[in-house]
Amino acid sequence: MNAVTTTRNDLPETTRHAMTERLGEVLAGVTQLSLHARMAHWNVQGPQFLQLHELFDKVYEEAGAWGDLLAERAVQLGGIADVRLETLARQGGLPGWDPARRDGRATVDQVAAALAEVARRVRAAIADAEQAGDAGTADLFTEISRAADKLLWFVEAHAAQ
98-149 residue pLDDT tens:
999 999 999 999 999 999 999 999 999 999 999 999 999 999 999 999 999 9
What is the DSSP code string of 72-128? HHHHHTT------HHHHHHH--PPPP-TT--BHHHHHHHHHHHHHHHHHHHHHHHHH
The backbone region for 61, taken as left when phi is positive above 0, alpha when psi lies in -120 to 50, beta otherwise, is alpha
Count the Cβ atoms, other than its own, within 10 Å of residue 103: 14
Q: What is the span of the domain harbouring residue 92?
A: 13-157
Residue 74 lies in a domain: yes
Residue 95 lies in a domain: yes
**Please, is 10 exposed, middle or buried when counting C-beta atoms within 10 Å of its C-beta (0-12, 13-18, 19+)?**
exposed
pLDDT at 159: 86
What CATH number should be reported for the domain holding residue 38? Answer: 1.20.1260.10
- Total count of domains within the chain: 1
Residue 80 lies in a domain: yes
| pTM as predicted | 0.94
Helix (H) or strand (E) holding 19: helix 13-43
The backbone region for 101, taken as left when phi is positive above 0, alpha when psi lies in -120 to 50, beta otherwise, is beta
Mean pLDDT of 18-29: 97
Residue 6 lies in a domain: no
pLDDT at 2: 52
pLDDT at 73: 97
Residue 7 lies in a domain: no
For 50-74, give one letter per residue: b (16+ CB within 10 A) or e. eebbebbeebbebbbebbebbbebb
Query: In this prediction, what percent of the chain has a pLDDT beyond 90?
Result: 89
Q: pLDDT by residue (tens digit) across 30-49?
A: 999 999 999 999 999 999 99
CB 104 within 8 A of CB 46: yes
Residue 91 lies in a domain: yes
103, β-bridge pairs: 45
Residue 2 lies in a domain: no
CB 8 within 8 A of CB 83: no
Q: pLDDT by residue (tens digit) across 39-83?
A: 999 999 999 999 999 999 999 999 999 999 999 999 999 999 999
pLDDT at 42: 96
Residue 135 lies in a domain: yes
Residue 9's pLDDT band (cuts 50, 70, 90) = confident
